């Protein structure tokens, strides 16, 4: 047999190639196509079935038979999904970044943390559920000096939440329901709020914002109270998120205030802090360094009294606006981070705690160094993102102490101020009936001065008059009384004790030497009471420290922890 000439061999390969290409084109254009619903369809039969009607008329002699088999294919996930509008931090569309600048926004975040709880609350918003925001603060958050409540930082922030997440979930802002409960009380400190905050905000809050940084002095016992407050809030039914906001006051003996001790506690409990002082103070200090008489920034950011004088104790309308903006910028950053985590892991859920990897894994090099056993995972893979530390920050470390969050007990006259009439969570301070308490015209009664009807006190005036209260102690066994102190209002003294142990009673003096200071003071009566129900007694004493011999005594609250 002779050999096939090379030129003929090339011809054979060309013919074979053309044939294969024809088959491929047939399969591509005639047998495999997608129907109107996007399903992949394979057609077995004549290609004329896919031609137009006019084309078919041109070949009437052909009557093809077609069998169609439909194969449904799962669509491939989109490689990229457009991020929500709140993921625009310091981009060309971020109006807050344009207003304040990235430098100032960064300074405002005194402590950011992981924000596991806040991300969970935002997931709840994104799923269309209602949330409740409770404010625990003093006179700034109460709105001192503001003419319109809509200028209050908390109101502005709640509006931001509604508008931002309405755009993220629907086109109708009314679909995002946010209930704002401003439980702020003027002139109060953490010492009061740590046990009485539930008299001012409901137990089923989702987010609690604390503003007490300038109400507290830089004293350790107030920082301890701040720790008790956070632990108690964390244990509420909805496991709420907590944000601390720190405003600024420049009328005290020092710039530093109790909020600077709060910071260490906030870090220990992984609760974020937004500070207006971090942003404003460098600018104020610099401007007054350049011009000692320049008070323009102070007048712009702080409030004014009724005669127009500068009030360096309370931020004004512009300060409220800034605080709300700083909170909004921070919240958008957290919301975006949570959205990206959920879409990265595919675990969108209201109860999801995904904030990153929590397992402790050794480095590869440790396997060869014998260090594997030195990097254990002590939590067996459990999520610790919302863990409440078993020990207090102000306690000595050990391996055994497991302190359960205490359940605060509080009865206060402050619930009368626009709250007790409709609130289901406020409890009015009331005395037990005789013979526990005194009766008659001299008995303790709720009273307020005509010049300040908003401040209500349980007031007694004569020595020997007694008030008794039923209380409930929790894990700490601490019982306290909050009463008024003044150097010029004619206040006397009282003895307070628990149950029948009058000999261990504590004397509370209403008078003190500060003539221009009239404030509520909280005093511990006992710290080691057994958990359970007790009776607290307070009796006005004959002896008084008031120079004029006055004996009037005013009680604002009793509490236990």
Check pLDDT > 60 for residue 347: no
Neighbours of 372 (CB within 10 A): 12
Which has the higher per-residue pLDDT, 481 or 74?
Answer: 481
Alpha-carbon gap, residue 333 to 272, rounded angstroms: 13
Q: What is the pLDDT of residue 386?
A: 92
Which has the higher per-residue pLDDT, 42 or 259?
Answer: 259
pTM of the model: 0.76
Alpha-carbon gap, residue 217 to 222, rounded angstroms: 7
Q: What is the pLDDT of residue 22?
A: 65
**Section 152-164 average pLDDT:** 95
Question: Helices 317-345 and 116-126 sit at what angle, rounded to 10 degrees?
Answer: 80
Q: What is the pLDDT of residue 7?
A: 62
Helices (H) and strands (E) in the chain, counts: 13, 21
Q: Are 413 and 428 in contact (CB under 8 A)?
A: yes
Which token pair is 500?
Answer: 């029948």
Check pLDDT > 90 for residue 338: yes
Q: What is the pLDDT of residue 240?
A: 98
Residues whose CB falls within 8 Å of the CB of residue 101, separated by 6 or more in sequence, listed in order: none
**Section 451-480 average pLDDT:** 92
Alpha-carbon gap, residue 183 to 72, rounded angstroms: 57
Minimum mean pLDDT range among 66-80, 391-405, 477-491: 66-80
Check pLDDT > 50 for residue 135: yes
Q: Which string of DSSP letters, residue by residue, matches 335-384?
A: HHHHHHHHHHHT---TT---SS-------HHHHTTT-GGGS--TTTT---
Q: What is the pLDDT of residue 344?
A: 79
**Section 374-381 average pLDDT:** 52
Tell me the pLDDT tens digit for each residue of 67-96: 444 444 444 444 456 889 999 999 999 999
Check pLDDT > 90 for residue 116: yes
3-class DSSP state for residue 25? helix
Check pLDDT > 90 for residue 289: yes
Tell me the pLDDT tens digit for each residue of 254-266: 999 999 999 999 9
Q: What is the pLDDT of residue 43?
A: 41
The residue count of the chain comes to: 561
Tell me the pLDDT tens digit for each residue of 173-230: 456 799 999 999 887 889 889 999 998 999 999 999 999 999 999 999 999 999 999 9
Q: What is the pLDDT of residue 484?
A: 93
Of 213-222, 239-248, 369-378, 517-526, which one has max mean pLDDT?
239-248
3-class DSSP state for residue 329? helix
Residue identified by tokens 């037990």 is 432
54-90: string of b/e by CB count within 10 Å (b at 16+)?
Answer: eeeeeeeeeeeeeeeeeeeeeeeeeeeeeebebbbbb
Q: What is the pLDDT of residue 18?
A: 65
**Section 367-377 average pLDDT:** 51
């Amino acid at each position: 047999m002779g050999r096939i000439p090379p030129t003929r061999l090339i011809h054979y390969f060309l013919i074979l190639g053309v044939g294969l290409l024809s088959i491929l084109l047939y399969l591509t254009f005639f047998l495999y196509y997608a129907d109107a619903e996007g399903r992949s369809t394979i057609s077995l039969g004549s290609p004329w079935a896919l031609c137009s009607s006019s084309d078919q008329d041109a070949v009437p002699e052909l009557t093809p038979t077609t069998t169609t088999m439909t194969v449904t294919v799962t669509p491939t996930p989109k490689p990229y999904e457009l991020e929500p509008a709140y993921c625009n931090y310091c981009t060309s569309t971020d109006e807050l970044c344009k207003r304040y600048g990235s430098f100032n926004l960064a300074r405002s975040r005194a402590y950011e943390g992981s924000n596991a709880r806040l991300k969970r609350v935002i997931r709840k918003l994104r799923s269309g559920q209602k949330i409740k925001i409770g404010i625990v603060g003093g006179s700034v958050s109460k709105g001192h000096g503001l003419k319109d409540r809509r200028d209050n930082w908390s109101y502005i922030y709640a509006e931001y939440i509604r508008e931002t997440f309405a755009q993220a979930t629907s086109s109708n802002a009314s679909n995002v329901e946010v209930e704002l409960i401003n439980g702020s009380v003027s002139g109060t400190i953490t010492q009061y709020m740590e046990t009485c905050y539930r008299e001012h905000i409901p137990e089923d809050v989702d987010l609690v914002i604390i503003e007490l940084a300038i109400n507290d002095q830089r004293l350790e016992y107030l920082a301890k109270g701040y720790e008790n407050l956070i632990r108690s809030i964390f244990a509420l039914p909805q496991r709420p998120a907590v944000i601390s906001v720190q405003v600024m006051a420049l009328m005290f003996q020092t710039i530093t205030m109790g909020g600077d001790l709060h910071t260490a506690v906030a870090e220990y409990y992984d609760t974020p802090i937004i500070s207006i002082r971090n942003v404003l103070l460098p600018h104020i200090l610099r401007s007054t360094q350049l011009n000692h008489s320049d008070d323009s920034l102070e007048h712009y950011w702080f409030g004014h009294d009724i005669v127009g004088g500068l009030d360096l104790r309370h931020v004004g309308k512009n300060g409220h606006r800034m605080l709300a903006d700083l909170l909004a910028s921070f919240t958008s950053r957290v919301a975006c981070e949570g959205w990206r985590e959920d879409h990265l892991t595919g675990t969108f859920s209201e109860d999801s705690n995904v904030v990153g990897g929590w397992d402790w894994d050794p480095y590869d090099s440790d396997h060869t160094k014998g260090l594997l056993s030195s990097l254990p995972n002590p939590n067996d893979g459990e999520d610790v993102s919302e863990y409440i530390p078993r020990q207090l920050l102000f306690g000595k470390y050990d391996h055994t102490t497991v302190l359960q969050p205490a359940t605060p007990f509080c009865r206060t006259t402050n619930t009368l101020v626009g709250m007790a009439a409709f609130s289901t969570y406020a409890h009015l301070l009331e005395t037990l009936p005789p013979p526990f308490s005194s009766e008659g015209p001299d008995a303790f009664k709720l009273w307020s001065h005509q010049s300040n009807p908003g401040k209500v006190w349980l007031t007694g005036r004569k020595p020997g008059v007694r008030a008794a209260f039923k209380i409930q102690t929790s894990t700490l066994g601490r019982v306290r009384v909050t009463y008024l102190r003044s150097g010029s209002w004619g206040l006397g003294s009282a003895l307070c004790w628990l149950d029948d142990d009058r000999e261990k009673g504590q004397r509370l003096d209403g008078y003190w030497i500060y003539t221009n200071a009239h404030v509520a003071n909280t005093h511990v009566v006992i710290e080691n009471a057994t958990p359970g129900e007790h009776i607290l007694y307070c009796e006005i004493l004959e002896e008084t420290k008031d120079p004029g011999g006055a004996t009037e005594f005013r009680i604002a609250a009793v509490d236990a922890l």
